[in-house]
């Protein structure tokens, strides 16, 4: 774990430098910002780093992300660079192991019904896409979605996913959402006001951007976030997961 933290932190430094070079805004998210607040660095049993970007910043980032491949053993994996990439967001890998997620955070509707449709549509396409590239998704709905993965091409599924992602980008809304979150939809919401002001937090000895209202975000996502989970839940969620790579020229 110590070695994995080392290469993951190096990944964060690389991404931070790239963002500064091209004036791209990002912020620490989920377990990473929790680690910054509670541990001043990694949660001891966490095994990757999560950062978020608004859609416009993410689109700008992926235009330059291949520069990250210049560092030995690191590879920027996304649907644009890896034919077998299993996520709708990009990941910086080290020898095939995920060490940093870069998540595109879109706007979503003020209406709970519309938000739910936004969430469901993304999940349906995510399952269909993973079936298309040969990833096995253990979900009850998978068998009902399989026809989509058979009929539609990989490119068509990705175009539809993009259309869903940006569904509310030109709308006046109060919310953003992490459509890829493992938490329930309402937990995945991010208030628009949180994206208006940022501060820096210490993470492993250096300073990185986060919401100014970090405590409100953590309370929303985790509840009593300062309380450690039971020991039997302190397990790395991704360590050992290897991302298959079929590089796109």
Q: Whole-prediction pTM value? A: 0.93
Amino acid 138: pLDDT:
66
DSSP letter at 242 equals B
DSSP 118-156: HHHHHHHHHHHHHHHTT-----TTHHHHHHHHHHS-HHH
Amino acid 120: pLDDT:
95
Return the axis-axis angle of helices 154-165 and 112-132, rounded to nearest 10°: 160
| pLDDT tens-digit readout, 49-85 | 999 999 999 999 999 999 999 999 999 999 999 999 9
Q: Which fold has domain 2-105+194-233?
A: Beta Polymerase; domain 2 (3.30.460)
Sheet of 107-108: strand order equals 107-108, 175-177, 189-191
Q: Name the maximum alpha-carbon separation found in the chain.
A: 50
Residue ranges, the chain, pLDDT below 50: none
Distances (CA, A) of 119 to 126, 160, 163, 248: 11, 14, 13, 29
Question: Which tokens in the block code for residue 166?
Answer: 């940006």
Amino acid 249: pLDDT:
80
Separation of alpha carbons 188 and 116, rounded Å: 11
């Amino acid at each position: 774990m110590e070695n994995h933290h080392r290469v993951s932190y190096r990944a964060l430094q690389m991404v931070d430098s790239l963002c500064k070079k091209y004036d791209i805004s990002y912020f620490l998210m989920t377990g990473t910002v929790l680690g910054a607040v509670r541990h001043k660095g990694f949660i001891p049993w966490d095994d990757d780093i999560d950062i978020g970007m608004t859609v416009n910043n993410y689109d700008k980032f992926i235009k330059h992300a291949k520069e990250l491949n210049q560092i030995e053993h690191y590879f920027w994996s996304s649907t644009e660079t890896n034919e077998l990439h299993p996520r709708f967001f990009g990941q910086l890998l080290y020898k095939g192991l995920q060490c940093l997620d870069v998540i595109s955070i879109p706007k979503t509707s003020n209406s709970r019904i519309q938000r739910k449709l936004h969430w469901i549509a993304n999940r349906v396409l995510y399952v269909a896409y993973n079936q298309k590239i040969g990833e096995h998704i253990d979900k009850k709905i998978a068998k009902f979605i399989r026809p989509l993965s058979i009929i539609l091409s990989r490119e068509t599924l990705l175009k539809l996913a993009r259309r869903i992602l940006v569904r509310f980008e030109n709308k006046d809304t109060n919310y953003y959402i992490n459509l890829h979150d493992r938490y329930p939809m309402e937990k995945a919401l991010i208030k628009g006001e949180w994206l208006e002001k940022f501060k820096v937090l210490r993470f492993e000895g250096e300073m990185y951007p986060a919401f100014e209202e970090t405590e409100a975000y953590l309370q929303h996502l985790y509840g009593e976030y300062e309380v450690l989970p039971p020991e039997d839940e302190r397990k790395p969620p991704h360590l050992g997961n290897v991302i298959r790579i079929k590089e796109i020229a």
